[in-house]
Amino acid sequence: MNIKEKCLIHNEFKFDEIIALEKMCEHMEQLTSYLYMRTQISIFGKDKQEVILTDKDSGNFKGVHNESSDLDRRTIPIYLGINNKIGIATIEGKRIISDSYLEDLMHFYAGNSHSYLPANDLVPDGFLFISSAGEIICTNYIANSILARLGFKDLSFNELVVALGSSRSDMDKYINQPALLALNLSIKQFDILLIVNPLFAERKLVGVMLILSDRSSVKRIDKELMEKHTVIKEIHHRVKNNLQTITSLLRLQMRRTNSKVVEKILNQSINRILSIALIHEALSKQNFEVVNIKQTSYNILQTVLSNMVDPNQNITGEISGTEVFLPATVASNVSLCVTELIQNALEHAFISRSEGNIRVAVGREEDEVFITVEDNGIGISSSKVQNGGQLGTQIVDNIIRRKLKGEFSLERYRYGTKACIRFPSSYHGEVEK
């Protein structure tokens, strides 16, 4: 899961704020290669829990001695706008570094006309290095260009702070008590993102790196992308409505048949279609292309129970585990599998029984996502376990192995059956609940 999706899922940040956080993460990771042992940036989620956006270990880095006893950890707050604290950054630095660390860092950012090119952006960033005494000691070509267009060329740091709409006392608040600060500024016809990034070495604040990003042209492109995204959400909504229309037609057809076999097949088809419709419904209501598969599995469980349980039976369902987010295409395949497993349990586990329970668990173990569907019914026969179960479980096995490169297994108990699907988690993100 990328930074944008984490921000939208856990805190619903505005688009400009997400851009600022992405830049903070990118430049902090770059500093890790030159100055720090390890950096981590976290935001506060809706439930006040910390959500890690990036966690970067320097590995082999330049100009830094590697004695582990010299590790120094510092935690600084992150602000998006004045007094708007939204997270924390953790920095593990070194007490002992080379004498040329600052010169090496400035050469990397400002040593050529193009300077550092952001990995996920259309335009390069401007950089100003500010000494601990509050003097501008180095700028790159892009920063000079931006400042010239704004009419702020050849200003001192104090004059620049005022020109950008702040005051030295306000800026000192975030420098003397170091913090990562991002400000979205509208100056003349330009939209400028300003990031204040403190620099630490040998347990001391040695300066500040100001990052200037001209967002004027990018914001116009972002607006066009948002308009296209709105269209995509509307398409998801219409697909969901069309799928529900199909299920309505199938229900009409089901009422006209006197065959229990045909009725059963149509009902199973309805459940499969509705499981796909649930994915499109979720995507039509959010600004990101990932699906909470735990919530979707719960919705599928309730849908299948309402469609298939006989009025004379008391079959209940419950769900547990972790909120796991999957890309839409993966979630569609997984939802079909969950639907098949729940349908199989209802169809075969509670024959001649008036009560029963189906438990669905979603979670992650190491590098795998797992989903289990367990019932307390009569239990699947040993021969069916060996042969791969019914048609529904064979469909699940085919989807998991061929499309998701995972594994599917059935376990027989004295009082029930447990089906488990597992697949690689390299494309998913999760949050413990």
Residues in CB range of 233: below 8 A, 6 or more apart: 283, 284, 285, 287
- Number of Cβ within a 10 Å radius of residue 307: 16
Same domain, 85 and 152: yes
Looking at 185, 214, 243, the residue that finishes a domain is: 214
The domain total for the chain is 2
- Number of Cβ within a 10 Å radius of residue 267: 18
pLDDT for res 370: 94
- Helical ranges in 256-367 per DSSP H: 260-284, 293-308, 328-348
Same domain, 113 and 168: yes
Same domain, 227 and 125: no
Amino acid at 71: L
For residue 35, give its domain range.
3-214
pLDDT for res 63: 42
CA distances (Å), 189 to each of 124, 153, 160, in order?
A: 19, 17, 18
Q: How many CA atoms are closer than 13 Å to the CA of 323, on its beta-carbon side?
A: 10
User: DSSP secondary-structure letter at 12?
Assistant: -
pLDDT for res 113: 52
pLDDT for res 374: 93
Looking at 214, 243, 276, the residue that finishes a domain is: 214
Amino acid at 93: G
Q: Give the whole-angstrom CA distance, residue 306 versus residue 343.
A: 11
CATH of the domain at 379: 3.30.565.10
Same domain, 233 and 193: no
Q: Which residues pair with 200 in a beta bridge?
A: 205
Q: Give the whole-angstrom CA distance, residue 318 versus residue 360.
A: 6
Same domain, 117 and 188: yes
Same domain, 283 and 357: yes
Same domain, 41 and 8: yes
Looking at 171, 188, 214, the residue that finishes a domain is: 214
Same domain, 292 and 203: no
Angle at 430 between CA 228 and CA 319, to 5 degrees: 105
**What is the pLDDT tens value at each position of the chain, 433 positions in all?**
678 778 877 877 888 888 889 889 988 888 887 788 888 999 998 777 888 888 888 654 444 444 444 457 889 999 998 889 999 999 887 655 666 777 777 777 776 555 566 666 656 888 999 888 888 888 888 888 889 988 888 888 888 888 888 777 777 777 778 889 999 888 878 888 999 999 888 778 888 899 998 887 666 666 666 677 778 888 888 988 898 899 899 888 888 888 888 888 888 888 888 888 888 888 787 767 788 899 999 999 998 988 888 888 898 999 999 888 888 889 889 999 999 999 888 888 888 788 899 999 999 887 899 999 999 888 776 555 555 556 677 888 889 999 999 999 988 887 888 999 999 976 444 443 3
173: part of which helix (H) or strand (E)?
helix 168-176
With H, G, I as helix, E, B as strand and everything else as coil, classify residue 129. Answer: strand
pLDDT for res 390: 63
Same domain, 139 and 183: yes
pTM above 0.75, yes or no: no
Same domain, 342 and 308: yes
Same domain, 278 and 406: yes
CATH of the domain at 49: 3.30.450.20
Same domain, 62 and 140: yes
Q: Give the whole-angstrom CA distance, residue 429 versus residue 292.
A: 10
